[in-house]
Structure 1
């Protein structure tokens, strides 16, 4: 499900740059652009908005005044040329604070924070414990310059490459993403995935065979780490 975003800025050039950045990220959907906070109020009444790119110094109402008046509040990334508002902005629990001129790689870092913080990034189970009624559960991975949607049902295993991970899917694709394997371990449902080694997480549903020292999954034999063995064996017994 894309992140629906709204750009609120009184500088046409700033809007143009942010607009071009949004178009380069598949996981973002632009709802619209506004030149002041009053216009943004009207848009928020009519449209579902997940994320605001919000300038601070604007006519009629500042970005900070606007944010304080919102209820409920979307995720907010402040975009401004003024450093002095940084402390106050973080007290308002914004996702990030981008200083103009904004570079695309810095913009991507902010989007990654939004993706990580969204409870729906991995739509596995609702608070009631019942399966999510909408789409199959998925996650977004940053691959090159894009946020790529990966369905959990398609993952065979995940391999750690220090600060990166390699995600192998059922159709043979390999996605390399700047992400820690420990972060994904926390996000993935434990009844479907298990960490079997410091460098590997596997899908329990994709296991073809196993022994006391390794598991065959996705056509690859993956080792079972000594410190993970007892937990792995418990998980395998639950599958019988």
Structure 2
């Protein structure tokens, strides 16, 4: 699946750098290079893209102002030479924030985030069609040839393995082919939280938190760097 890219930057050299980077990545396809936000707006009125690489400091209309005009924006990766805009970027739900001059490795990390979200969305659609069905107080999920009912109150944590997912409860572990992201979308957000690439936890089942580890039912669960802030905010509600 190709990720369609739009680049918006008023500096010709920056456009050339991004064009070269996009050409080096097999799953990216460059749709358009635009030197002003108004050119980009005109292009988007007639075309769809999956990600916009958007410079912040541009004359007339800044990248942040342009982003605020978009009703249903695609993924956005902001590019700038100024680190002070980072808070604004993430308040506008930017996928990533790249500081110029942009190393190719850092660029690749950012586009992999976009790719991961696309794969999660595709998996979620498949899940909705055939995997997990939510109901009040419980879910149904496929485990092998069976459809199994699991009460939400029984779930301790959910663990992603290489080729399957394990739902851990006090009494049993249920194996399913549904992805972690697919399961998370079916679980009540106020009760469950993803804390690591491979783990979703039931917040009410937390026993202790120490450094980068959560203990649930004597099991130590790692907290990923990407998820630590969300955990801190959620724990603050309790």
Superposition TM-score, scaled by structure 2 size:
0.54
- Give the Å deviation of 1:83: 0.6
Partner of 1:75: 75
Count of residue correspondences: 142
3-state DSSP of counterpart to 2:126: coil
What is the CA deviation profile of residues 79-121 of structure 1, one whole-angstrom value per residue up to 9, with x for unaligned ones?
1001110011111110000000000000010011111122345
Runs of 4 or more, structure 1, over 3 Å off, are 119-124, 181-186, 189-193
Quote the Cα distance in structure 2 between the aligned partners of 1:121 and 1:25. 21
Partner of 1:139: none
- Give the Å deviation of 1:123: 7.3
Partner of 2:39: 39
Quote the Cα distance in structure 1 between the aligned partners of 2:76 and 2:26. 19
Taking a change above 3 Å as real, the CA distance of residues 185 and 84 of structure 1, as seen in their structure-2 partners, is farther
- Give the Å deviation of 1:190: 3.4
Quote the Cα distance in structure 2 between the aligned partners of 1:72 and 1:190. 33
What is the CA deviation profile of residues 123-160 of structure 1, one whole-angstrom value per residue up to 9, with x for unaligned ones?
76163x169xxxxxxxxxxxxxxxxxxxxxxxxxxxxx
Q: How does 1:91-240 map to 2 (within 5 A)?
A: 91-118=91-118, 119-120=120-121, 122=123, 125=126, 127=128, 129=129, 182=161, 185=164, 190-191=176-177
Quote the Cα distance in structure 1 between the aligned partners of 2:50 and 2:71. 13
Quote the Cα distance in structure 2 between the aligned partners of 1:102 and 1:23. 15
Q: RMSD of the TM alignment (CA)? A: 2.6
Q: Which runs of 5+ in 2 are unaligned?
A: 132-159, 166-174, 180-238
Taking a change above 3 Å as real, the CA distance of residues 29 and 87 of structure 1, as seen in their structure-2 partners, is same
